Structure 1
Amino acid sequence: MRVTPLIAVAGFLAQHVIAWGTVGHATVAYIASGLMKPETADYCKSVLGDNSSDFIGAIASWADSYRYEPGGGFSSVFHYIDAIDNPPYSCDVDFERDCTEEGCIVSAIMNYTDIQRTQHEPMSLKWIVHFLGDIHQPLHDENYGAGGNNISVLVDGEKWNLHAAWDTAFITKMTGGKDLATAKTFSEMLLTRIKGHGVYAAQARKWFRGSLKDTKAAAMGWATETNDLVCSHVLPQGPIAIEGKELNGTYYQEAVPVLEEQMAKAGWRLAAWLDLIATGSTPLGGAPCKGPKKA
């Protein structure tokens, strides 16, 4: 793993913003709660001490606030993995190169999954819920421009950095709200696409490839797949094409289906992951999703 100087780490942490925002993270959680096995839901409710329908929606953003609490700063590096690649010409995640000695989102998913399997802790469960959301946001699997934080753009005339635009501005524009009620409504729409004869139904069976015997492979598969979107949709023509530009036109329109599918995938995979932790099996498996690229 590459070693990043502490000064550089501190500077980067200061620039990182909350991933997906409240609506994005809660949407992923509500999708998962609508797909997981009943036994899994009971397990999560018991661990979290919450029997309401919001049992994981309400805690989905907890990890973002915790890292700013006294003693929580150590967890900041767990929200991303810095792929040192060259978008839009090449996108690639390499665990040994990109996960620092302090940790990254892949190592965090590995570690807290192991803890949850044996200790059944509310804190590790909260982290798992959050990090499976984060890893599906393309700029949380990318180093370029500090994960997009150093790329300034406009959304409906308002100044944002590119990372925050994908996390929050676009999702607020898509959904029209910023609260849990908005996330619940939005998740219900995405669930109709996943279930029955919805537009995602056939492909959703291919979204999950994972085993608790190799948590690194599973998490790296998700990170690699998501990082590819940096080249294809986030920076398809490089930063110069969008730096300081208004993104409410074609760029936004092309980002919407990507964001919707990423949240649907994250919810599906979170449900399957928690099924495995809670019960040892999941009905949400299928053909392998894209795995890590080989050197």
Structure 2
Amino acid sequence: MTASLTTGILPLFLLLGSHVAQVSAWGSVGHQAVGYVAMPFLAPNALSFVRSTLGSQYSQSLGPAAPWADTIRSDDSYDWASNLHFVDAEDSPPSSCSVVQSRDCADGRCILTAIANYTSRVVDTSLSATQTQEALKFLDHFIGDIHQPLHVEAEALGGNEIDVTCSGTSTNLHSVRYTRIIAKLVDDDYGNSVTTWANSLADRIQSGDFADDASSWIECSSTTDPARRKRSVKDDVVGFLHPRAITPLECPLEWAQDANKLDCSFVFTYDQFDDLCTSSYYDDAVPLIEMQIAKAGYRLAAWLNVLFDGDTEL
């Protein structure tokens, strides 16, 4: 690594983790969708920051920038980032699911600590333009990753070691869940256009079937406050940047726990003889995937809005 990349990076991130071979969470299309969903919900200062930071290289948009953190996996100089895409939940799906930060990220090298790290870096005015852009791209990507159930799961390397069939082709569960199903969905239902898909999800958040629940997506239960107290994205970010409240961050942990619950309720409940892309598994997976992509995009916007506009503005 160059000196510019090491500044502010947690030292333990230099070590490789158990999921190095893991493929990308949502694939390029899914990650782009998360970024594109976030864009119409950005408040003025956050939008200005995104546009100026990403520039023409990424069409001034979180969508094209979102897959970047996966594209660098083949670059040896970024080996230190390999295990920041996930948290290895040592649970036992489908019978028992849980994410416990002290157990699953005890060495401080996981997506939970990565989101905290890049939250602080993206507003660090001492960083260069290149470092700031990198911080935004990592945050863009990791908030997408944490909503993928198999990126908050240790079982069979997040499903990479489980052989399954998709449309007659042998592959693994991880690839099916969030690359192949998404590719089929976008091709079949959205004219093979990620922007059409993302716009549809944003519309559903604004006035469709997601609208009634969207406000709850940017709240999170606190493990330290009384049970009746709902912690918001604003509480989480402001408390983190001005440490008088809670460390580590509460909301990303809850997002990871919610995604992990899907490993028990659905992800690992398939029939091993089914083709997962032509059976009822596909039909049941689609609404769950669309919900997770919508949540990730909305929460990404809220996160950036608090950082640059002082409130979620949603």
Specify the SS of the correspondent of 2:165: strand
Q: After TM superposition, where is structure 1 displaced by more than 6 Å over at least 4 residues in a row?
A: none
Tell me the matched-pair count: 271
Specify the SS of the correspondent of 2:250: helix
Provide, for residues 207-246 of structure 1, a one-character-per-residue CA deviation record: whole Å limited to 9, x for no partner.
Answer: 0122211462111011001100000110136xxx32x641
Deviation at 1:171, TM superposition (A): 0.1
Relative to structure 1, the CA distance from residue 208 to residue 72 in structure 2 (aligned partners, 3 Å threshold; closer, same or farther) is same
Deviation at 1:67, TM superposition (A): 2.7
Matched-pair contact (CA < 8 Å) for 2:41–2:301: yes
Specify the SS of the correspondent of 1:283: coil
Amino acid at match of 1:139: L
1:288 maps to: none
Alpha-carbon distance between aligned partners in 1 of 2:98 and 2:168, rounded to the nearest angstrom: 33
Matched-pair contact (CA < 8 Å) for 2:50–2:60: no
1:89 maps to: 95
Provide, for residues 113-145 of structure 1, a one-character-per-residue CA deviation record: whole Å limited to 9, x for no partner.
Answer: 011122361100000000000000110000011
Deviation at 1:19, TM superposition (A): 1.4
Relative to structure 1, the CA distance from residue 42 to residue 235 in structure 2 (aligned partners, 3 Å threshold; closer, same or farther) is same
Amino acid at match of 1:37: A
Alpha-carbon distance between aligned partners in 2 of 1:280 and 1:44, rounded to the nearest angstrom: 15
Matched-pair contact (CA < 8 Å) for 2:166–2:275: yes
Matched-pair contact (CA < 8 Å) for 1:58–1:180: no
Relative to structure 1, the CA distance from residue 281 to residue 94 in structure 2 (aligned partners, 3 Å threshold; closer, same or farther) is same
Matched-pair contact (CA < 8 Å) for 1:48–1:122: yes
2:185 maps to: 174
Determine if the alignment matches structure 1 residue 222 to structure 2 residue 255. Answer: yes
Identity in percent: 38
Specify the SS of the correspondent of 1:13: coil
2:48 maps to: 42
Q: Equivalent residues in 2 for 1:112-191 (5 A)?
A: 112-119=118-125, 121-176=132-187, 182-191=193-202
Deviation at 1:51, TM superposition (A): 9.0
Amino acid at match of 1:269: R
Specify the SS of the correspondent of 1:58: helix
Matched-pair contact (CA < 8 Å) for 2:156–2:162: yes
Alpha-carbon distance between aligned partners in 2 of 1:245 and 1:99, rounded to the nearest angstrom: 34
Determine if the alignment matches structure 1 residue 13 to structure 2 residue 42. Answer: no
| Structure 1 spans left out of the alignment, 5+ residues | 285-295
Q: CA RMSD in A?
A: 2.3
Alpha-carbon distance between aligned partners in 1 of 2:191 and 2:145, rounded to the nearest angstrom: 18
Deviation at 1:155, TM superposition (A): 0.9
Matched-pair contact (CA < 8 Å) for 1:139–1:230: yes
Provide, for residues 122-181 of structure 1, a one-character-per-residue CA deviation record: whole Å limited to 9, x for no partner.
Answer: 10000000000000011000001110001111111011100011121000010118x997
Alpha-carbon distance between aligned partners in 1 of 2:120 and 2:108, rounded to the nearest angstrom: 18
Relative to structure 1, the CA distance from residue 33 to residue 53 in structure 2 (aligned partners, 3 Å threshold; closer, same or farther) is farther
Matched-pair contact (CA < 8 Å) for 1:22–1:180: no
1:290 maps to: none
Alpha-carbon distance between aligned partners in 1 of 2:37 and 2:23, rounded to the nearest angstrom: 23
